[in-house]
Amino acid sequence: MYGISQRHAQAGGEFNPQEARFFELSIDLLCLIDHEGIVRHLNSAVERILGYCPVEIIGRSFLDYVHQEDRRRALLEFGQIKSGQDSRAFECRVRRKDDLYVWLSCSCTAPPDGEPLIFAVCRDVTRRKEAEEAHRAAEHRLQQILDNTSAVIYVKQLDGRYLLVNRRFELLFNVTREQVLSMTDEDLFPKEMAEAFRANDQRVAETGEVLTLEEVAPHPDGAHTYVSVKFPLRDASGHLCAVAGISTDITQRARAEETLAATKSRLEMILNAISDGVIGIGPTGEIAFLNTAAEQLLDEDSCAHGASPNPDTRNLIDSLQDVELENGRGSRQIELQRGDGSSIHLQCTVQSALKQGQFAGTVITLQDVSAQHERRILELDMQSAQIVQRTLLPNQPPQMTGLEIAGAVYPASLLCGDYLDFIRHSEDEISTVIADVTGHGFGPAMQMVDARSYLRAILESESCPAAALQRLNQYLMRDLVEGSFTTMFLARWNATQRQLTYAAGGHEAWLLQHDGTLQSLQTTGLVLGVDADASFQRVGPLKINCGDVLLLVTDGVFETMSAGRELYGWPRTLTAAQALRHKSAAEIVDGLYQETRDFAGNQHQADDVAIGIVKVL
């Protein structure tokens, strides 16, 4: 080749026909350049590659066409060629005639000593360079994508050595992508974790399938849980060549799920511990939850997890659909007939549930109010009984010449076990009776009604108080429950003769005499209802005088308790009665009761109270 260039120089820049044909057959750009860098000859390939005719370049320095950024490298390369070093595949950008640039790969052999020209072969590698640049750009974009994702991405050879990792991998496991190359999991992770990773990779390699699984990796703050998608990579011929993985940290989600599960478990435990039933209804009407109390109230086994409710439960829920809600809340009391034939009264509270302002379902709270319902019925019955009982007590004291009579009964509850009565026999005879059945409330009240009925019947034919008590005791012995008894003071008055005869079964009365002295009218027998053979003594007739006052009270008066747990007692009772004796009989009754209430303060009345006054005029 250098012989050709030498002859070309000797011939004044001309080739013989064979040499010229050789130049023109080459698809590459062939040129001869002198030691000053001046182009001395070009083949016609220059027109195809650069767009110039050869004569437009011959005689000019090749550096005039080299891209400005590549000139320094080209000049250095040219100097090395002149110094005797070959140049192989030196690449630079060269300007075309249309001012665009193409990449040329230039190869030059250093000329022998004395050789005036340098021979160069230039090949257009623009498309290769563009492809390489596109490939580099694609790799850069891919690497940016890999490095900016929060997932951990990696590629491993089939023997377990790493080929590629992303930035997330580097940060988490404190290793650079250059360092990790050719390392294995055993070099990076604890033995057990590394063995688990390797086993999963081998499963992918053996099956050739994509696997999704959970893996645990070490972190500075402890082990983290990952969802890893591992898949095979194949070469152009379809052979498995590597295993790739994308691992997403789900630790926070897993912890949130654990917290949610724990919260749900605690909530269910709390809901199952309360006595009220709770039903959770979904937005489409399905039963999402029943607590234990609801299952028991509704006789359900379980409606959770999509199980169908029994018809009674479904009917209950449907019956509450039209409950009027105020601020998302409403209530209704219903009677539910259960499958076993029993019924239950439920107070149902309906509460709308919202999630982010949207309707998310309904919560129904069930409270068993059967006891309250029965109590209410009982209270109504007792109120009716109270009305009946009040009709049996004297609401208006009798008017008798020579006597002023007054009395009142103050129940501790709706019904009363104390008995006060004034039973008129003739124009000038009357019986006064006061009695106290043990306890207070419904039972003693019914026993009081029995005692009143028997006594009134007995006094129709019996005028002796002692004989009347004896007969009454026998009747009560048949009716009174065990452990129950009645105290009674029965007096018969003759207003014309001003005489008093009495008998008492465990009950004491007092006579406040006109001269200010007090006379105790002691009991004359046992309490009634204890001994069927009990006998009672009659006292009297006693002479009574103008200004005498008979005081009849039950133990609810003198057993009144103060806030300091002090008894009112008989002394205070008698002192108060003495102070009031000059007032009317009705005023004495009212004044004495008010004295006891003042003494009790804000204490609730613990026992029934009955007060009777007979004042001799």
Q: Which residues contact 424 (CB under 8 A, 6 or more apart)?
A: 398, 400, 430
pLDDT at res. 308: 63
Q: Which residues contact 131 (CB under 8 A, 6 or more apart)?
A: none
- Taking only the tens place, the pLDDT of each residue in 567-597 is 999 999 999 999 999 999 999 999 999 999 9
Give the confidence band of 604 by pLDDT, cuts at 50, 70, 90.
confident
Picking from 557, 576, 577, the residue whose alpha carbon sits closest to that of residue 436 is 557
Structure tokens at 320: 């509450």
Give the confidence band of 477 by pLDDT, cuts at 50, 70, 90.
confident
Higher pLDDT, 491 or 319: 491
Q: How far, in Å, are 85, 93, 141, 163, 310 from residue 134 at the CA level?
A: 33, 17, 10, 22, 70
- Taking only the tens place, the pLDDT of each residue in 441-476 is 566 777 788 888 889 999 999 999 999 999 999 988
Average pLDDT, the chain: 86
pLDDT at res. 318: 79
Instruction: Determine the average pLDDT of the residues in 64-76.
Output: 95
Matching residue, tokens 């029995």: 450
- Report the interhelical angle of 585-600 vs 569-580 (nearest 10°): 140
> By mean pLDDT, which of 316-320, 411-415, 417-421, 555-559 is the weakest?
411-415
pLDDT of 6 > 70? The answer is no
Contact of 539 with 525, CB cutoff 8 Å: no
- Taking only the tens place, the pLDDT of each residue in 343-400 is 888 888 988 888 777 888 888 888 888 887 777 765 655 555 555 545 556 667 888 8
3-class SS letters over 23-56: HHHCCCEEEEEECCCEEEEECCHHHHHHCCCHHH
- The C-alpha atoms of residue 111 and residue 196 are separated, in whole angstroms, by 64
- The C-alpha atoms of residue 32 and residue 13 are separated, in whole angstroms, by 10
pLDDT at res. 284: 81
Structure tokens at 614: 């007979």
Coil vs helix vs strand at 233? strand
Give the confidence band of 481 by pLDDT, cuts at 50, 70, 90.
low
> By mean pLDDT, which of 184-198, 259-273, 285-299, 386-400 is the weakest?
386-400
pLDDT of 11 > 80? The answer is no
Instruction: Determine the average pLDDT of the residues in 95-119.
Output: 91
- Taking only the tens place, the pLDDT of each residue in 550-573 is 999 999 899 999 988 899 999 999
> By mean pLDDT, which of 7-16, 172-181, 602-611 is the weakest?
7-16
> By mean pLDDT, which of 38-47, 164-173, 263-272, 459-468 is the weakest?
263-272
pLDDT at res. 449: 81
Radius of gyration over every alpha carbon of the chain, rounded to an integer in angstroms: 60
Instruction: Provide the percentage of residues in the chain whose pLDDT is more than 90.
Output: 50
Q: Which residues contact 493 (CB under 8 A, 6 or more apart)?
A: 400, 403, 429, 430, 431, 432, 499, 500, 614
pLDDT at res. 394: 66
pLDDT of 4 > 80? The answer is no
pLDDT at res. 417: 77
Instruction: Determine the average pLDDT of the residues in 329-347.
Output: 81
For the chain, what's the residue count? 617
> By mean pLDDT, which of 40-54, 121-135, 314-328 is the weakest?
314-328
Q: How far, in Å, are 118, 242, 488 from residue 112 at the CA level?
A: 9, 52, 156
